[in-house]
Structures are given as structure tokens and as C-alpha cells.
Amino acid sequence: MSLPQQLRDESDFDQLPDNIPISATVADVEEKKGFIVYYRFVIEVKTKGNLKYLIYRRYRQFFTLHESLQLKYSPEAQTGYYTCKLPILPGKVFMGNKKEIAENRIPELNNYMKRLLCLPTWVLSDDLIRMFFYQTESDSQQIPRALRRLRPPTRRVKTVKPKTDLLLAPRAEAVFDFSASGRLELSLKAGDVIFLLRRVNADWLEGTVRDKTGIFPDSFVKIIKPLPESESDDEGGASKKRDRARGSYSCLRCNMLMPEGIDTRDICVEEDISIQPSYQELLSRMRDVFQVEDIALNYRDPEGDVIRVLDDEDVTLMVQESKRTGAQVKRPVNQFPWELLVTHSKDLSVYNTEY
């Protein structure tokens, strides 16, 4: 097994466990439709024990790792024996085409990882590095080069007529309200009976209700009569394993307070239910959804008061507080336990300012 020269010269390298990463290379970049559209790097990792696997990391994860290593090992931040010169990480880029930025970072990140994994063994054994290159359960379930669109395209249906015998038609009943966030989606009210047209993929169905046709998440409905096997198995069954492997979606309910009332939307993102977005990601997505720039993000605390969100720490607090009340509310399994309340930034009437 060929090892970097710096590692081969160290007598204590043989004492390290076999799962220590010794090389990592960016194999590809993939688009991800989360709270914002971003690109993540598909990285092939090789361990001391000659094991190879893929991990998926965003640039901001590289940035967080580098900042943590600087605080721990940089000569400028620490004094003493356990310091070393860290490799240079390419800086943040705030303007430009996201895909081009990601593509241009590949050689720089490859060089960064190469130099990082050539550091002394006592740095390689640090949990910061080991966990960054560790293949998580989510990593192991991904299928490289198999990108899918979160909201799949739907066929155009000029006229949809339910079958004459409605009792024989494939159909489902809405268990939860679903507010469409785009023209291809179908809004549902709990109790609606939807006539099913087809399964689009593992997570989405297409159907019609009240003379409107569109797609909707299958987790919001209860199947009364399933689609024929040719529709559900061939289109959904074979692809269901692939879609599950690529990662499922989660839905966020957000409400915009308007002078004429509340505008409710269910935003579906290609993220795990456990993900915690940044403040800027949420702000950017809400501006796009409601087409309003001058907005403020808020949530209701367990006491029912409206709390404004101003930064990432407030997002963390919102997520934590939702765990106290989330179990009391019945919701789809893939819906975030926290909800956003969006207001105009200058509207202070929603806050409880009486003391």
C-alpha cells in the first residue's frame, strides 16, 4: 500500500487504527435542493486499512473543520509543542454561478485534503478530522451520479374525468392539509378524496380533486384504493429503493401574515428531518416563496408568544423549543416540528410588548 511520504517516515503510524483516512479526492459535485439550492462534493476516501468509500460534504463543512483546526493547532492561536502549519483552505465566494464556483474549488479542495492528511499522526487521530472523513449512515445510502429533482415534472392533463364507477377508481384521502407552493402542486384539505393518476416517484403522487390536477406528497394522504401494480410498482416500486437511497424530503409549514389574512405554504426540501438550516438559508427561501424582500422570520414559543429570529443562534433555539411542543401536535412524519411565521420587517404589532 502506497502512503504519503510524510506518513511512511513516522514510526508511530503503524499504531494508528485501520480506519484512519490517508487520502481523499473529490470525485464529483452534486446539486442539492435544500432550503436553498447548493452543491455538495462527492469525496472518495481511502483508509489505512485499504477501505474505500464515498462521503458527501458541503463547502461550509470544510470551512467549519478548518476553523476548528485553526483554534486547536495553529501557531497563531496556540503556543507549545502541539502546533502545526495547516494547509490553506480556499476562501468563501459570495458572487457568481454556484455550480461554476463548486467546479473551480475541486483542485483546491483536493490539494487541501492531500496536505491535511499528510499532517503528523497526532493530528490525523483527532476526532475533528476522523469525523469529517467518517462515512455516516446518510453517506452510505447515497447513490452517486443519480441526481433527482425534488419536485418532479408532471405531465399536462387537459381534461381529467374520474372513472364512471368511482368505487373502483384508485383514490386516497387527505389526512393533513397541504398548501401548494408551486403551480405543479395540488393543494389539499384534510378529508379531501383525491383520484390518483400515477405515482411520480417514491415520495410524490399525481391526482385530481375539485377539477384540479397536480402532484402532492404521499405522506399527507391515506391510500383508500391503490394504483394498479403496473402504475405503483413499475414506476414507484423499482424507483422507490433508488429514491430512498438518495435521501428523502421533508416539509416545512410557513405562514405569511398579510393584511388580508394568513398565506400558508408547505415547502418541501430535499433534506433530512433532523437538518438545521442557517438563518440566511431560511431568509432567502422565504423571500423566494412569498416574493417579498422586506420580511422578518418568527416562530411561536411554547407560551404562544411570537419570537423574532435574527441569527443562527435563534434558529437553534427555535428548533430546541419545538421539541418541547412537537409531540403534542399531530403532523406528517416528514414535516419539521417547527413552523415559520413570516411578517413584514417593520410590523411590530405581532409581538407581545406589554409588561
Residue appearing with cell numbers 463547502: 59
The whole-angstrom separation of Cα 56 and Cα 247 is: 12
3-state helix, strand, coil in the chain (%, to 5): 30, 25, 40
Length of the chain: 355
Q: Which domains does the chain have, with CATH numbers?
A: 16-141 (3.30.1520.10), 171-225 (2.30.30.40), 250-351 (3.10.20.90)
CB 342 within 8 A of CB 298: yes
DSSP assignment string, 177-244:
-B--SSTTB--B-TT-EEEEEEE-SSSEEEEEETTEEEEEEGGGEEEEEPPPHHHIIIIIIHHHHHHH
pTM for the model stands at 0.64
> How does pLDDT run along the chain (355 residues), one tens digit per residue?
344 444 444 556 677 788 899 999 998 898 888 888 899 999 999 998 889 999 999 999 999 999 999 998 887 776 666 788 899 998 888 888 889 999 999 999 999 999 999 998 888 889 999 999 999 888 887 766 543 333 445 454 444 454 445 667 899 999 888 988 777 889 999 999 999 988 887 778 899 998 888 889 888 899 998 988 755 544 444 444 444 444 467 888 999 998 888 999 988 887 888 888 999 999 999 999 999 999 999 999 888 889 999 999 999 999 988 877 766 677 787 888 899 999 999 988 888 655 3
Q: 262: exposed, middle or buried (C-beta count within 10 Å: 0-12, 13-18, 19+)?
A: exposed
249, 150 contact by CB (below 8 A) = yes
Q: What are the helix (H) ranges across the chain?
A: 5-8, 59-73, 98-116, 121-124, 127-132, 137-140, 229-231, 238-246, 279-290, 312-325
